[in-house]
Amino acid sequence: MAETKRPTSPAAEEILGLYFPVLDHGFVSLVDYLGTDECIERAARVSYGFGTRKQSLTRGLLRYLRRHKHTTPSEMVELKFHCCMPMFIARQWIRHRTANVNEYSGRYSLMPMLFYTPDAAQLQTQSRRNNQGRSGQPVTGDVHAEAIRRWEAIRRESTEAYSWLTANEVARELARIDLPLSTYTQWYWKIDLHNLLHFLTLRVDAHAQWEIQEYGRVMAGMLKRVAPLSYEAWIDYDVRGTHLSRGELEALRALVSVDGAGTATGESGTGLSASGPRLDRAALEKHGLARREIDELFAKLRPPPALPDFSLDVATARSPEHFADRFAHAVPATDGAPAD
């Protein structure tokens, strides 16, 4: 095999084609990538003599681009993933319409009878404050046991029906129609770095559904190996950084003045003092912020959580054959009974 002349990342080459398990039956694999941090610099500078530049200058440029939202150069880098996830996660995922996708076809191929089952810690009650999220409080043991019993009954019946329909030569595109959303699907997913960072910012956030966060964490670890300087800037400016609305900025400017030397002082009656900055809720309400806006501003100003570590443990990776065998054994047999 001829040695490639394209830019490569040794850390990315190490994991290329390895499959990292996610949830109970899912996975993510970095199938291929095009470009590295250096390619972003080349696109930004569009100049000669690139090879003489120092990495410190590359890092500074990439951070400047990220900080000032100059995103076009990062579109020159692409990553291609092979992913397997429950269908309800795939339906969330596909809303990111900036990728090229080719999904497993239930019209052409038999569907593996593999289903996602949340563990006890993740089977939680509905949040009272967030209509699209869980509360953080697991259900009781009795509810968990009954939920598992009911899910298993539904899945057993769905599997039997699907196996019977396909064994009796009912078209696969019709035999699949009552399979539950917990059934696993898979796809190839190719996306440029700019849009991948947008996807990851949303999907590793604590407000995202926990299951898709698990996929986001693995993909962030893969990005860290392909473009570590871009990854670092993304962590600093997006994951650990924040954005302020016009109302939040106006309220803060009214309550805090900055002199020419860069010294911040609080206005009288704002709750800001020399002993330490403290924002008073009443003062913020006077400047037009609603209660929920104030809550969100306080959340932005609180000390951030621990620095996230999306590093991959290569020891957990599996070969493509590992998952291929698992899925092959989960495909219904031609006699209508599930495969062994």
What is d(CA 262, CA 2) in angstroms, rounded to the nearest whole number?
57
pLDDT at 1: 55
pLDDT at 297: 86
Residue type, 340: D
pLDDT at 282: 85
Report the DSSP pairing between strands 26-34 and 78-86.
antiparallel
- Asked if 324 and 330 touch (Cβ cutoff 8 Å), the reply is no
Residue type, 319: S
In angstroms and rounded to an integer, the radius of gyration of the C-alpha atoms of the chain is: 25
What is d(CA 106, CA 100) in angstroms, rounded to the nearest whole number?
19
What is d(CA 194, CA 184) in angstroms, rounded to the nearest whole number?
28
Number of Cβ within 10 Å of residue 145's Cβ equals 12
Residue (of 44, 53, 48) closest to 74 by Cα position: 44
Residue type, 172: R
Number of Cβ within 10 Å of residue 138's Cβ equals 17
Instruction: Report the chain (340 residues): mean pLDDT per 10 consecutive residues.
Output: 84 97 98 96 73 72 93 96 98 95 95 96 90 89 96 97 96 96 98 98 94 98 98 95 89 71 51 55 85 87 86 96 95 62
- Provide the residue ranges of all domains of the chain, joining segments of one domain with +: 10-241+310-330, 246-301
Instruction: Write down the architecture of domain 10-241+310-330 according to CATH.
Output: 2-Layer Sandwich (3.30)
- Asked if 150 and 182 touch (Cβ cutoff 8 Å), the reply is no
Structure tokens at 124: 């939680």
- Asked if 262 and 221 touch (Cβ cutoff 8 Å), the reply is no
pLDDT at 340: 44
pLDDT at 133: 87
pTM over 0.85: yes
- Asked if 108 and 172 touch (Cβ cutoff 8 Å), the reply is yes
Catalytic residues: 203
pLDDT at 9: 96
